[in-house]
């Protein structure tokens, strides 16, 4: 059954209920070779060229296909029911497309400490099913440990290239971290490093933070991690107004090196168009002075201190030891990492750091699943 309305049509596809499709949307998504390149599958139709009063001058349903002749130069469009069913499903779920990389977000606290997703490096780099599990752990949990990586310099960069692409920053593709009397930040000292996300000074911070211990013989320096999404939810449940303040107040961050000076201001809690938390950024050590009215300043610091206490709460933090050859990777848009202080005279401690974009992890999930079909 096909019914034509003023700016849409409805038809029965695969069940008793009818599905409605907007005329402009249908014309904009014509599948013919004049509108969609047959090889690249890229759109060649210019949406702004479609008349505002677009509507069918003829339409019919036959052989599992909807056919329309438009009042736009009598253009002919054909839509298979299978394609319309898929699109209707995605519209009802408010999703752009059926993405095989979509997972299930799993919030965590200290109880994850004995269950952190842990992988063997050789298996991870030689078996796509293991790599898929690692990518899905980054996506769903945001924290992974890898044991047994070669202790060669540059190995973390090679691993990043195995998964996707290295994300370069003003700290280069590969960054060395060890105690330095001329330290440029806290990470280059033996002091405690509080939980934080990396590079909050970028408008688009690196999505995946990875480091690899070339050597770790020092006493202390226990690694820590906190799920930013989890503590944000705790804050929202406890004080919704404080959560709102942190989602609306731009905080300036700055990091510089001999290659650049990057400054940006963004809320600690960046929400998507549906109001869901998309990016959690927190780095007390590189935050810059705020410029707010006295009232807003008080509101911000009230919310900021509440969040800080949740981050420092031992019930929300996991701790674990990383040894020579171990790697750690986090979803840097969600999970904070840090360490306890360590004894600089007790043994050498040298790690190398590299980044990827989170989109590269999702891309690898899609590619592995596609190859397995």
Band the pLDDT of 97: cuts 50, 70, 90.
low
Residue 55: per-residue pLDDT: 97
- Binned at pLDDT 50, 70 and 90, residue 178 comes out as confident
pLDDT tens digits, one per residue of 197-238: 999 999 999 999 999 999 999 999 999 999 999 999 999 999
| Together in a domain, 51 and 145 | no
Residue 158 has pLDDT above 70, yes or no: yes
Does pLDDT of 96 surpass 60?
no
Are both 225 and 363 inside the same structural domain? yes
Same domain, 197 and 320: yes
Does residue 324 register a pLDDT over 80? yes
Overall domain count for the chain:
2
What is each CA distance from 259 to 146, 170, 183, 262, 265, in whole angstroms? 31, 6, 16, 10, 20
**What is the CATH number for 33?**
3.30.2020.30
Query: What is the spatial distance between Cα 212 and Cα 231, in angstroms, rounded to a whole number?
Result: 27
| Overall average pLDDT of the 164-186 stretch | 84
- 100 domain residue, yes or no: no
Range of the domain at 226: 110-371
Question: pLDDT band at residue 171, thresholds of 50, 70 and 90?
Answer: confident
CATH code, domain with 312: 3.60.130.10
Give the percent of the chain with pLDDT over 90.
87
Q: What is the pLDDT of residues 13-42, one digit of tens each?
A: 887 888 999 999 999 999 999 999 999 999
Assess whether 116 and 210 both reside in one domain.
yes
33: which residues sit within 8 A by CB, 6+ positions away?
none
275/346 same-domain check? yes
Cα(70)–Cα(77) distance, integer angstroms: 8
In terms of DSSP bridges, do strands 118-120 and 143-147 run parallel, antiparallel, or are they unpaired?
parallel
Last residue of a domain, one of 44, 60, 92: 92
Q: What is the spatial distance between Cα 58 and Cα 264, in angstroms, rounded to a whole number?
A: 54
Distance (Å, rounded) from C-alpha 147 to C-alpha 142? 17
Q: What is the pLDDT of residue 179?
A: 80
Most distant CA pair in the chain, distance:
83
301 part of a folded domain: yes
């Amino acid at each position: 059954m096909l019914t034509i309305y003023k700016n849409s049509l409805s038809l029965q596809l695969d069940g008793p209920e009818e599905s409605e499709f907007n005329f402009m949307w249908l014309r904009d998504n014509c599948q013919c070779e004049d509108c969609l390149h047959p090889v690249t599958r890229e759109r060649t139709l210019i949406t702004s060229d479609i008349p505002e009063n677009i509507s069918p001058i003829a339409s019919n349903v036959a052989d599992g296909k909807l056919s329309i002749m438009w009042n736009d130069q009598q253009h002919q469009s054909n839509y298979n029911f299978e394609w319309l069913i898929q699109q209707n499903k995605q519209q009802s779920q408010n999703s752009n497309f059926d993405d095989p990389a979509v997972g299930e977000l799993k919030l965590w606290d200290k109880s994850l400490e004995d269950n952190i997703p842990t992988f063997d490096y050789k298996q991870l780099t030689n078996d796509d099913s293991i790599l898929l599990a690692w990518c899905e752990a980054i996506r769903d949990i945001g924290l992974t440990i890898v044991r047994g990586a070669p202790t060669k310099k540059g190995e973390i960069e090679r691993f990043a290239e195995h998964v996707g692409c290295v994300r370069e920053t003003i700290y280069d593709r590969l960054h060395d971290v060890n105690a330095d009397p001329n330290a440029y930040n806290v990470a280059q000292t033996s002091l405690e490093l509080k939980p934080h996300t990396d590079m909050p000074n970028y408008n688009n911070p690196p999505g995946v933070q990875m480091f690899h211990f070339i050597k770790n013989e020092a006493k202390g320096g226990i690694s820590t991690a906190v799920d930013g999404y989890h503590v944000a939810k705790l804050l929202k449940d406890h004080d919704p107004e404080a959560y709102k303040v942190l989602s609306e107040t731009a905080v300036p961050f700055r990091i510089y090196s001999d290659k650049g000076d990057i400054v940006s201001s963004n809320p600690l809690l960046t929400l998507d168009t549906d109001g869901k938390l998309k990016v959690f950024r927190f780095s007390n050590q590189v935050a810059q002075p705020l410029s707010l009215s006295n009232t807003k300043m008080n509101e911000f610091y009230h919310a900021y201190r509440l969040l800080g206490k949740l981050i420092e709460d031992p019930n929300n933090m996991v701790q674990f030891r990383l040894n020579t050859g171990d790697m750690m990777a986090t979803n840097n848009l969600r999970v904070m990492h840090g360490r306890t202080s360590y004894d600089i005279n007790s043994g050498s401690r040298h790690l190398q750091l590299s980044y990827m974009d989170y989109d590269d992890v999702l891309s690898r999930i899609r590619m592995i699943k596609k190859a397995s079909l």
